[in-house]
Structure 1
C-alpha cells in the first residue's frame, strides 16, 4: 500500500479563439473520456502527493477548458475517476467546495484567478496559479 496518495492534475492548452470547434462537451458521455486530438491533450501534468490520512479515491482532473471564453463562470472542469467515469462538470464555486470537502482551505481568490487567467487574454491555462493552489494544499497536507 502506498504511503502517499497522488492527486493528478492535468489540463489542456486550448486556443480559445477556436473553442467552438473543440467538441469536448458534445463528445463527452457520463462514462467515457472525451475524445481529444493530440493538440487538445494535456500538455502538463502536476502530481501532488497528499497525506495518506486523507480518505478519498485517487482521481484525475482532466480537460480544463473554456466553453465560452467570454463568460468567466463558463469555465469548467471535469473530474474523471480511475474507472473512467465522470463525476460531472464543476465551476469554480463547486471546485472550492470540493477542495474544502477534501479537508483543505484554499483562498477563494486563488481559485478565481484561474478563470481570470484563462479569459483575460491569456490563452494558456494559468499554470502558475494552479501550482500556487497545489502548494497551498500540500502545505496543509503536511501539517
Structure 2
C-alpha cells in the first residue's frame, strides 16, 4: 500500500476505535457532522460535546476500500461491519470520508454512513480490534 493510502486508512480506522478523541484531533475547525439521532447538523464544538462520552467500536471489518485523490483532497469509500460489546447485531454500512491536507496534516472534512440491512454479501477480511483500555474510559452513550 502506498504511504498516503496507509496513512489515511489508518486515520479512518482510528475514527472507529477512538470516537470523540479522533474528532478532537482530526475534525477540521470548520467541519460539521450530520447526526442521525437526535437529528441535527452540528458544528465541531457541538459535535464534540455530543460525542463525550461515547461507546467505542470493539471490532471492525472493512471491505471494498477505494481512495480517490484530487490535489490536497482525498475521498475514502468502503463497506464496514462494526461491533460494540453492548449490541448483538453489528452495524453494516457503506461509508465515505473526505480528508484535506493542511501542510501535510490530514483533517477530516466529512463522513457519511449509509446503513445497510445486512442482506448484502460481505467479503471477509482480517478483523481489526481496538486495543484494550480501562473500563473507566468507556462511556454510556
Regarding TM over 0.5, the answer is: no
Return the structure number with greater strand share. Answer: 2
